[in-house]
Structures are given as C-alpha cells and as structure tokens.
Structure 1
C-alpha cells in the first residue's frame, strides 16, 4: 500500500495509527497543533483489548517501565481516615486501578519514540481546510504550505476543530454536567503510593494520584448547573475553582495553592461524542474525535488504541478506502456503543451532595471491597474493555 495518510493529532490514537500504517506499507504524516509532544496529563490505564494492541505492537515491556506504581485508591474522609480501599487486584484486577497505570504523556511519548523514525511529524501547525478531489484531499494549514494526501484521519480529541470542518452537521455531544480540572502539584509527605479520593459536600471531589516523576497528579471534579465554565480563560477558571472549593476541607487548600504554579493546568467539561457515521469520502475519524466515551467510561485509551489498530488493519485489507472505512466502523461501533453506556447517575453517585450521602458512599464502597460481593460489583462497575474480538491482520514481509 502506497497511500499517503495525514493524521491530525499526536496524542494516543494518532501515533498508534501511524505505527500500524507504516507497518502495512503506507506513508503517515502527523500534524500537531502544539509545538512539541504534550507530555503532561493524568493517569491512564492499559486494559482489555487496548492492552492486547500494545502487546501486538511489542510495547508492553516498555510500558511497564513507565508505570506510576500506583497500588490502588483509598476513599478518605476530611480527617484523612481511610473509609474504603480498592487495590490494583480488586474487582478482578479491572477496577478503578489496574496493574498497568501510566501517565497519558508517558504513553504518548512511548508511541512517538517508536514511530518518529518512520513517520513525518509536523509540530506547531494545524489543518485549516479540507477539500476532497477525485483522487485525494487538498489540505491547507495555518502556517505550512498546501499539500495533497490520499486520506485524512482526524485523531485530535473530543474538541477537534478539524472534525467540525467535516462532520459538524452530524455530530452530537452528550453532557453529564460534570467539570474536571487536571494539574500537577508538588509531592507532600501525605502522598504515598495509593491514590486518595476525597468527597466534599456540594458534589465536589478532590483526587490525588502518585506519579513516577516525584510529583502528584491532582484533579478537581464537580457537578454544576453552570454552563460555559470550560470556555472561560484559564485565570477565570482558577478563580472559579478557588471560590467553588472554598471550605471543602481535607487537603483542598494545598491543592488550590499548588494549582497556581502548576505547569500543566487543564480544564474541561466531561462529555461524549456521537457521530452518525465516522467517515465522509476520504476523511475518517478515530479515537475521541469520533467517539469519545468520556473519562467516566474508563475506556478512552482502549478506544484510541483499538480504533487505530482496526482502522489501519482494514485499510491494509481493502483496496478501496470506502470499503475499508465501512469495515472499520462495522467492527468497532459495537465496542464503542458498549463503552458509551455510561449512566447519567454515575457521577452523581460518585459525588454526593450531602454529608449523609458521602457516608452512604463510603459504606457502599466498603461493602464492595468485601470478597463475597466484589465479583458481583465488578460486573457492574468494570468497563467492557474486552468486549471485542480483535481481528488479526497479515503483516507484509
């Protein structure tokens, strides 16, 4: 296959797709709006079919060398007393924390390092126009020269601007009313090898997770009826968080102080992306840009890796891109549908409004850790990361 394929986005799905395209004899180019690889971000996990894809890439051992060594998650109260604990082996080893937890940036860098010698990477630029012709796609860029490619893949995330150039009329988002801020703060003596989950009244959550870089990954998660907070400028978002989390207790003041000096603050509204179809002509989506299931699903990394694997594999099997895109969607959409079955009540259960609700959550979590109930609980809580029969694709010699 001599197809020239432009990929928009260099996070997880983009470099993973570049790996497989090159392996099948195609020529990938990745364009990324950031001026270099974005190595920040929170912890992601490798589980189910996503882990199988990493194994087929020969990267499992390299991934293991980058894990955060997080042992599990403690649910704590305002005195830092542990009310319930889920280790990496809890819930059949596929629960809140798995044995293969690593930073999003670490996984992205691992994929980049594996593909950089075989893939053209263009940093500090982005697609501004896509015009399909009979035998290709004419692409204009914000700073770079016009170029033509055989195919274009949009892999640039839930808020993809390039997706909106092509699919805006058939795209629908689902909101949970949940906002999340992610950032890195200095490590403290109270931070061990376990993540700590703290609930404050008013549907506010503070989560602290260890990393492998001597710092701590913090996130502030809250439900709110206010709309548009994610569209505020960063200083206004931080000011909102200071007001919203005032008086929350526990280590929240330390987290808010650390937020000001954090180098990687990121704020988002949590939602899902639903497209009526995943391709138009020679342009196709993969990962969060096409079918984000939200962090609540626990499936973002798996969908990115499996989507890239199946898309490249079907392009290698089919001479025509339309047949390849249709086969890709036929194989993957049931997997995506399962991942997107996230209850609207899930974040409300995880972030109670009152102190009574928080005590009830801690009680329920304690029951769920009981070995007599954990198997039943795992059927309800564990993401459907293995709910697909991964095809096997021949590799050219």
Structure 2
C-alpha cells in the first residue's frame, strides 16, 4: 500500500483523498488552515465533472445544497437596475441547465465526508521541504517540525503552491497575471436578496453579490483591474485595506455597508486573477493537481471541474499503473492536458466578459471518463 501525501485540503485535495483511499492507497492530507475553511464563492460543477461527482455518489447531495438562484440584476454605477434576467445568472449560466452551482464550503464538506475514515487529516501544518531519497520515498519536513517519509507527494495547494515551489522552482516561472484582482467575503444580507444576485461595475472596479441558500447572508465577489501589485499575497490585512478603499470609492449608495462587511469579514480572501502554465506537472515522485498545476482562474468558471476531474484521472492512472508513479503520472498528464488547455482558454477568450456559451459547452465536456471501475 503506497503512502501518499496530499498537500491541500480544498476541493482538489479532498477529492483525490477519496479516490486514493477507494483504490487502496493510504492518503494523508495536510492543510495549512487550522480547520476546514469556511466561506468562499459559489462554484460550478459542469459537464464531465458531474459524472465524477456521480461516481462518488455525491451528485444527489450536491444538488440538495445547490444555490437556487431565481435570476440576476445588472446595476449601473449609481445602483439603478439596467437589466434583469430570470433565465440566466452570470455566476452559473442558464438556470434551466444541468450544471450544479453550490457554495465552495458545502462542496468541500461533502468531499471530506465522502473520503471517509481511511484518510489521515492534518490541519494547521504545511510542507516546508522535500527530499527524494534515491529510488525510495520522499522525506517531507513540515512547518510543525515533523519529518515523515511518503511514497508519493501531490501538491493540491492552490495558485501559490508550496509543493510546486519546492519541486519545480519559483512561482513567477509558471504564473501568468490576467490583469485583475478578486476578493471574496461574507456579508450580512443588507440588500435583502432572495435567491438573487446583483452585478455592478464602476470604472475599473465592480462586484457581484449573491444570497446563499436560506438567504441569511451574502457572498460578495469584488474585483478591480490592476497589474501585479507590489506586496505579499499572504498579507491579508494589506489586501483588505486595498479592497475597502476601492469599495468606498464606488458611487453606489450601498458602498459604506459593503466596505464595513469587507473590513470585518472573518473569511476575507483576495488574490490575483492568474493562470498556472507548466510544461509538466510531475517531477520524480511529486505531482501537481488542480490550481497548483493548471489554475485556469475564476475567470474561466471551470476551476472546480478541473480539480474534480484531475483528482479522478490522477488516482485512476496510479491505480492502472499498479502504483508505478512514472507511468501513472505520465498517463495523468496525457489525459488531462487537452482538457486543461481548452478550459484555460475560456478565461482569455473574451476579455472583460464571459466566454461564449458554445465555448463553455465544448470545454466542460472535453474529457471522456473511462468505464466505471
């Protein structure tokens, strides 16, 4: 039984933990956060990724907690409605479609529960060093001071992956900035939204606010155009200050209440819109999964589907290769790369606006699942 360390307890890492355990591997998931992260934006599971959820027996549970958007409004800079739709929502597409939109924390919870007791979960720690020991296991050092050996290591630790940096080199070699920043945070439902979302743009800044299931609170996604900022992406309070300042500059009458929500939100998040582009996703006994290896950015709308499908394909490839990581990692890359490339292209197809429905339909189904095992 191969011991596999998965760095990152989000969507990609939790899904991989399930498939590894199911296929007879011994997964350990290490997550920097002290507990499963709360908050986050609504995420979409589309096309072939729905098939992955179905094979995990999670399609029904995901649909049970999906958002129930009735429509959307587009506001001008003063807050006056200029367009509304009860057929389409910008966050998820057509409301009568088969795709599933749900809150990120709900999906992570479902995935973690499905992974079961055969997975070791380590919270409040992170990988700080990797050492491949000849043809043997990888010696891993952790922030806590622990040292452990693993047969394989998978970095599922996001855009700023520490595993990628340790195994492949500095982040700037692999990331492409897309000219925007995005923050996400929870706010009281001071807009009184009832399964509804509103979108507003004022110059180079704008936001989307949507009610969560039950309508007791909002998830706000606030973005602004900018080149790479000269600062530490881990400095949450510096980023929070930038976002509060930009929200307060909006002409919209609700700006003061939204700025206060951003100032006090415990789940505040902000980062650059960027893609990760790499010639290969594995080196030795280390591989990358999801945003760590091929972040498409939220502008693509396909990051969640890439994570779910990548986890399924990676675990299946390792199983088919009998644990031979060289063959398994190569098969994983061959199957996933065309799917990744067509989905990354969605983010840049139509700058400043969503990709066409035709392009999304093609990209979300650009992978064929193998026969169910």
Aligned equivalents of 1:160 and 1:377: distance in 2? 30
Q: Is the 8 A contact 1:94 1:382 kept in 2?
A: no
Q: Is the 8 A contact 2:273 2:298 kept in 1?
A: yes
* 3-state secondary structure, aligned to 2:364: coil
Aligned equivalents of 1:127 and 1:173: distance in 2? 21
Shift of 1:49: 1.3
Aligned to 1:115: 115
Aligned to 2:313: 310
Aligned 1:2-13 pairs, distance under 5 A = 2-13=1-12
TM-score (norm 1): 0.85
* 3-state secondary structure, aligned to 2:158: coil
Shift of 1:233: 3.3
Task: Say if 2:165 is the partner of 1:137.
Answer: no
Cα distance change on mapping 1:225 and 1:127 into 2, 3 Å: closer
Aligned to 1:104: 104
Shift of 1:226: 6.0
Shift of 1:16: 0.5
Cα distance change on mapping 1:384 and 1:95 into 2, 3 Å: farther
Cα distance change on mapping 1:91 and 1:19 into 2, 3 Å: closer
Cα distance change on mapping 1:221 and 1:329 into 2, 3 Å: same
Cα distance change on mapping 1:92 and 1:278 into 2, 3 Å: closer
Aligned equivalents of 1:159 and 1:210: distance in 2? 29
Aligned equivalents of 2:291 and 2:228: distance in 1? 24
Shift of 1:349: 4.5
TM-score (norm 2): 0.91
Task: Say if 2:238 is the partner of 1:236.
Answer: yes
Aligned 1:203-352 pairs, distance under 5 A = 203-212=204-213, 214-225=216-227, 227-228=229-230, 231=233, 233-245=235-247, 246-319=249-322, 320-342=324-346, 344=348, 346-349=350-353
Deviations 1:199-231 (A, max 9, x none): 11x221111011125110011111024623563
Aligned positions, number: 367
Q: Which moved more, 1:98-107 or 1:257-266?
A: 98-107
Aligned equivalents of 1:308 and 1:226: distance in 2? 30
Q: Is the 8 A contact 1:242 1:256 kept in 2?
A: yes
Q: Is the 8 A contact 2:228 2:272 kept in 1?
A: no
Shift of 1:273: 0.4
Q: Is the 8 A contact 1:95 1:378 kept in 2?
A: no
Q: Which one has the largest radius of gyration? A: 1
* 3-state secondary structure, aligned to 2:222: strand
Q: Is the 8 A contact 2:19 2:315 kept in 1?
A: yes
Aligned equivalents of 1:96 and 1:187: distance in 2? 25
Aligned equivalents of 2:123 and 2:240: distance in 1? 28
- Runs of at least 4 residues off by over 4 Å: 88-99, 380-383
Shift of 1:91: 12
Aligned to 2:364: 385
Shift of 1:118: 1.5
Structure 2 alignment gaps of length 5 or more: none
Q: Which moved more, 1:59-68 or 1:175-184?
A: 59-68
Aligned 1:138-157 pairs, distance under 5 A = 138-157=139-158
Aligned equivalents of 1:303 and 1:317: distance in 2? 21
RMSD: 2.6
* 3-state secondary structure, aligned to 2:277: strand
Deviations 1:211-270 (A, max 9, x none): 125110011111024623563733332332333331432422221121122111111011
Aligned equivalents of 1:61 and 1:349: distance in 2? 32
Deviations 1:65-89 (A, max 9, x none): 2222223332222343241426358
Shift of 1:124: 1.0
* 3-state secondary structure, aligned to 2:315: helix
Cα distance change on mapping 1:20 and 1:343 into 2, 3 Å: closer
Aligned equivalents of 1:316 and 1:47: distance in 2? 25
Aligned to 1:192: 194
* 3-state secondary structure, aligned to 1:348: coil
Aligned to 1:28: 27
Aligned equivalents of 2:92 and 2:14: distance in 1? 30
